[in-house]
Amino acid sequence: MIVETRRFLLPLGVLSASLALTGCTQPTPPPADATADARESAADVTGAEDITAPDAQDAELPRDVSDTGTATDATDAGDAGVRPHEIWLVDQSDSVSGSGGNLWIYRDDALRAGGFETNAEAGAGVVAERIDLAGDARALCLAETGTAPTRPHMLLFNSTHTHAVLSFVASGHVLFIDAARRTPVSCIDVGEQAHAAVPSPDDRWVLVANQNGKRLQRIASNFATNTFTLEAASLDLRSGTTPSGAPVEDLADAGARVRPDNAPICPIIDDAGRLGFITLRGGGLFVVAARLGAPLSILAEYDRDTVAPNGCGGIQVGNTMYINSGGGTAATPFMNRVYAFDVSRFGASPTPPNTPAPRLVLQRDGRVDSHGAALVNRRFLWFGDRAANVVNVIDTADGDRVLTDIRLEGALSSDPAPDLMAIAPDQSRVYVSLRGLLPLSANVADAGNAVGNTPGLGVIRVTEGGRSGVLETVVRVSNSSSFDGGTIERADPHGVAVRPR
């Protein structure tokens, strides 16, 4: 792979800025109309791409982003118990025309040396590796599939963190990377779009949401031998009937309200590796039997009046699976819901429609767009809202009580647009991808729901044991690509994951 080291200079005096304080040093803001202009420009970029389509949605974060280490009682007392790790951040903008992208890898000690704890006024740089996905990754995909991968989107690690699994949302590629060697080892093209590819808890298979192909696919995996095989059989989400006899999908133009658009967004796998919770772009949800060795099949079916569209954040706590719904499509630009499902009530046989019934835990209306999730100290659920620039917090040990939002706007960014999240192994920090001025996925032109003005990596310090947090660092990334003249900032981070080292 093409790997280089970059040093980022961070604005003086803002690295440890608490959003609750006033009078903090303010970094130079964009012009007053920059965000509005960017939202208009983003409409041209996103709308022009036929493969992402007006309704194309990106995905949020599955099980293992919140399961990166043993929980501790993280507070704001310091970092004596820091466990070494690295943070992988995916910039989905092209590095060559029509392909590529950049993978940024940060060591936690490099971030600390950059000043996010103390000595913020020193303004030291943050060192990161940059892997150009137009290099070895693109070459491998061309060699193994005959086509080039486009728009790296979601990145997850297998259970032992030996491999990263990277899906490309504007093409059908799933790339497997040897994490320690930073080397791509296999590339599979599943078809139209690979929105998210999620490894199973036992690492024996990977569940793939083929978004515009409207099908769920499975890759048999052996990470020890770097052997990955796409199964010929898949679950068609466009045609046929459910176990109850209802149409799997009924198109919106027919006036139906059951499941009008079954593009799968995020497959979320339960802790036992038995069930896949499949969120749908048009609303509704399927729970499928997902385990390797048997066909993918529907066990439970939900309509759009029961589960809202565009879910892309799911985490299991005990016997409860929490799933969100969000915005980002022309039909539903704004949405924020969180549901709770009792995992123990799903058996081997299909259930009637909309059973077992989910419980509505959180509902926000207005300019909201829920996307991405993390679990702090195995108790507090964090769901990001990229339109409202907040993190919603739910206390799962106190009757799913909704706590005060963590506000991210402030001295470090006037419009951070938080997307996906991953937590440090010691639970002291939550890392979040921050979207760019020209978002390439899940942004509605007139709404600008996914537009941010500080593309990069955000570091949120966990406080009160997980009940709250403070955005203490923003590390900017940049991609003014030479292939289009190098005059437009196109960086648009999306996937983020943590790997112990």
pLDDT below 70 — which residues of the chain? Answer: 1-80, 115-125, 252-256, 481-483
φ/ψ (deg, to 5) at 246:
-75, 155
Q: What pLDDT score was predicted for residue 3?
A: 61
**Locus of tokens 């193994």:** 144
State CA 19 to chain mean position distance: 24
Q: What pLDDT score was predicted for residue 4?
A: 66
Angle, CA 213 vertex, CA 210 and CA 218 arms, to 5°: 40
In a 3-state reduction of DSSP, which class is residue 380?
A: strand
- Report the alpha-carbon distance of residue 424 to residue 82 in Å, rounded: 9
> Which amino acid appears at position 333 of this protein?
P
Residue 182: burial class (beta carbons within 10 Å; 0-12, 13-18, 19+): middle
Q: What pLDDT score was predicted for residue 308?
A: 98
Q: What pLDDT score was predicted for residue 20?
A: 26
- What dotted CATH number matches 2-249+256-500? 2.130.10.10
Instruction: Concatenate the DSSP letters of all residues of 400-434 into one string.
Output: TEE-PPEE--SSS-S---EEEEEE-TTSSEEEEEE
Q: What residues does 297 pair with on adjacent strands?
A: 289
Instruction: Concatenate the DSSP letters of all residues of 28-92 into one string.
Output: PPPPTTHHHHHHHHHHHHHHT-TTTTTT-----B-GGGG-SS------SS--TTPPPEEEEEEE-
The tens digit of pLDDT for each residue in 358-399 reads 999 999 999 999 999 999 999 999 999 999 999 999 999 999
Cα 267 to Cα 94, 210, 247, 346, distances in angstroms:
26, 10, 21, 16
**HSE-up of residue 245 (Cα within 13 Å, Cβ side):** 0
The tens digit of pLDDT for each residue in 269-297 reads 999 999 999 999 999 999 999 999 999 99
Q: What pLDDT score was predicted for residue 485?
A: 74
- The verdict on whether omega for the bond into residue 425 sits within 30 degrees of 0, i.e. cis, is no
